[in-house]
Each structure stands twice: as structure tokens, then as C-alpha cells.
Amino acid sequence: MKLLLVFVLLLNYLQAEQVWLVKFPYKHNYLSRIEKIFPLIDLIEYDYYQSSYIFLIPRNYASNFTHFIHQSKGSYRIIVDNTKDLLKKSRQQSKRSIASDNPLDKTYYQRFLSYDEQQDWSRLLSNSSLTNKSIRLHTIGQTYENRSLTVIEIHSKSHPRYRKGRRRKNAVFIDGGMHAREWLSIGVANYVIVQFLKLKGKDPKVKKILHYFDVFILSMMNPDGYEYSRNENRLWRKNRAPTIVSDYWSIDASCFGVDLNRNFPFQWNNTFGASPFPCSHSFSGLKPLSENEVQSVVNFLRNKTYTRHQFYAYFNLHAYGRFWLLPWTYTTLERVKNYDDLLKRSNNVASTVLNGTYKVGQASSVLYSCSGTSIDFAATLMPHAMTLELSPMYRGLPLCYDGNLRKDQNCTIGFMSGPEEIEIDGIEVFNAIVEYLYSIIQDNFV
């Protein structure tokens, strides 16, 4: 019995993860080598110009990784000794409760809702007399842990040209929370829902957009992973479906979770950046479309079961770094057919709405290549697909996770953005989406 306890404690110790800030002396891409030697390492942030990296690493890598850094003449600092400590802070910030019967009340978007609260809010939106005429709910699938994937559809009267039945309305898809730890993307997706509903009768641009498009929003694409991130491991990224493995490199007999943004059925597992190791944070799954969440979204976009609409644009929300990323993700050598058009529109929105604070470009060049992503898949179905990495910006600084985050200039909050950031980023992202869609309408539909 005692031996078992020691074993469990040891396992816990070895499986614990740490966050390291690493600096190398040269502007050189160390990533592919690191990925090869340390397949379970997770890159959180990097700054090419400062040659600094933030990694999430399993504790049992510590001595070999230290050795690698010294060999490369680099230096490092451990920022978070045990990532389990990060939860204490998140718990504090999610205590307030909500009790408004107005679904557009700020209490619904000024905090990070749990999955149950999100479902309650969705039902309130579809039942309340304030919003029910503009809302339809679609359950597009179930997760491994049996949570519903609920898409909120926002619609209004069609443009007269559509009403005559000659043309069908087009559709826009927005998703958030694909990666469990990126809470801000869920909050911002919810804020976008609220803004569309508040402004649909008032703002001429929003009104026009809803004349031409129905908007479908899945704020929580990975609810199993998100709940795990809220309750067990704040920096969890994947979903929670288990994969049984028996390889020598694995500490235990199985690992949980697939990186949903590596599991889409286009150019699947075709480049580094998507891992074949089930214990890796970017595990691609054993085959494309193996995950319920991905299957559900792919069916939803491909088939006309829920919508009878043609999908025309897709905004995929992540955090963080402040990047506006265009397909392709899987290669730097090719471009999507309409790349110039996408780039021009995106640059335009970035400079007029986002004050030039987002870096715009092809995902594989601006960040890194990886395969099986949702925007690459979406780009095979529709002309406009893009990923928005929300705040904060990459600054090559350590993560800070306690104290007054806004005042501390010497660290970055990364995934730990507080709920006060939802509205700040939400306004920007909503305006950016509106400008982008409005520009499409002006050029293609009017």
C-alpha cells in the first residue's frame, strides 16, 4: 500500500509541468530541433527578434532540457514551478454569480462562464422575448464526455432580393474555445453574440450584414477541455478523449486529449507542428476527423442539415499574440487562390479598426506551419477563412500570474487574461468582423 502511494506521488511529480522562459544567443530557429528531442514540450510564446521562448515542459524533461540549453549557450528561468498553482488565481476570478433574466445583461459577458452557465445562457437567449425572434439554437454534436456543442444562430429579415427566393442567404461561422486554456476566445465569442443582438436594429452596417448573412457562433468548441482547464489544469489545450498507447516514451499506459486544431481532414499530419505522440499537447489524433468536436463542426459546415446555407466566411478565435492569420497553415510554399484579396481586406481592417496592432499574414509564415487546422479545411469550402489570435501581444516576457496584472510591466499575462479583457478585446473583434463582412458585401453583393 505504502509502495503504491509512493508510486502515485512519483508519477504526479514526474507528470507535473513547469513554465520556462528560455533565451538563446542567436536569432535562429531552434524549434524543429527541440520538437524532435523533446516531443512533449509545448511552445507557448516566442519572440524571434529577442530570441526568447516560453515553453510548457513536463518536469521529467528538466535535466535534459537544461543540458540542451547550456549546450546551445542559452539561459533559462523557471517562471511557474508547478502549473497546478495557476488554478488558485482562476478560481478567485470566477466566483461572482449571475442572476439576470435579461440575456444581454453585462453579467453574461463580464466573466468566464462555466459550461453549464453557457448552456443556461443559450437557452435564455432562445426563450427570452428580448432575443428569441433573432435566435435559433443548433446542437451540432456531443463531446466525448457527453457535453453538447451548441451553435447560436443569429438571423434577421433577408434582403428583398433574397426573399424573392432567387438566392439563398449566405452564412458566417465564428468559433471560440477550440483550445481549452484560451478562455478569452470564449468570452469574446459571447460578446460578439451580444453585440450583434444589441445592434441589429440600430447600427446600419450590422443591419446590412444580417440582411445578407446569417451568423452562426459556437463559443465553446471544446467544452470538455475547457472544464478540465477550469478545474484541473489551467494550461490544458486539447479535448479529453483518451488514446491508449504502449510506447516506451510514455510514463503511463494512456494519454488524454487530441489537439482539435490538428485533427481537421485537410493535409492532416503532413508537417511538423502536429504531433503523432498522444501525450503531446499538439497530438493530431490517430486519424483525421477522429474527434467528435471536429466531426461535428465539419458536418455542420459541409452539410445543409442545420442551415441550408452556403458558408461564406469563417472567423476562428484563439488566444493569444494579436495575430490575424490567413490560410494556408500547412505550408509556406503555396497560397490560397484569393490570398491577395484576403490580405488586402485583412490589412485594411487591421489598420482602420485595430490600429495596426495585429500582425497580418499567412499563418505558416507569421507563426509556424502546422497541419490539420480548421482554417485550412474551411478554405477548401469557402472563400474567407481566418484565425484571430486575441490579446495579449507576444512580448518575449515571462508569464505573470499573480499580483496586479495590469500594473506589472515586466511580464505578460498570456492565457491568464482576466475577465476584464473580454469587453476590451470583444469590442475590437466585433468591429473587425463587422468591417470585414461589410467590405465583402460592398464588393460582392450590392
Nearer to Zn ion, 111 or 318 (CB): 318
Smallest distance from the beta carbon of 209 to Zn ion, in angstroms? 26
Q: Which is nearer to Zn ion, 230 or 318 (CB)?
A: 318
Distance between CA atoms of residues 244 and 236, nearest Å: 19
Q: Would you state the torsion angle of the CA atoms of residues 430, 434, 437, 442, taken in this order, to the nearest 10 degrees? A: -170
Confirm whether 421 is a catalytic residue. Answer: no
Q: How far is CA 100 from CA 105, 108, 116, 132, 136, in A?
A: 7, 8, 16, 16, 21
Burial tier of 386 (Cβ tally within 10 Å: 0-12, 13-18, 19+) = buried
Residue 220 CB-half CA count within 13 A: 25
114 within 8 A of 123, measured Cβ to Cβ: no
Q: How far is the CB of 229 from Zn ion (least distance, A)?
A: 12
310 to 349, contacts with Zn ion by CB under 5 A? Answer: 318
- Reported as type and span, the H/E element at residue 355 is none
Asked if residue 332 lies in contact with residue 365, where contact means CB atoms within 8 angstroms, the answer is yes
Beta carbon of residue 290, minimum distance to Zn ion (angstroms, whole number):
19
Q: How big is the site for Zn ion, counted in residues (CB under 5 A)?
A: 3
- For residue 214, what is its C-alpha cell? 446569417
- Write down the residue that cell numbers 453574461 correspond to: 108
Report in angstroms how near the CB of residue 182 gets to Zn ion at its nearest.
Answer: 5
Distance CA 321, CA 305 (A): 35
Out of 17, 153, 389, 421, pick the active-site residue: 389
> Shortest gap between Cβ of 241 and Zn ion (angstroms)?
18
Near Zn ion in 170-189, by CB under 5 A:
179, 182
Is 234 among the residues that bind Zn ion (CB under 5 A)?
no
Nearer to Zn ion, 24 or 415 (CB): 415
Residues annotated as catalytic are 389
Q: Which residues bind Zn ion (CB under 5 A)?
A: 179, 182, 318
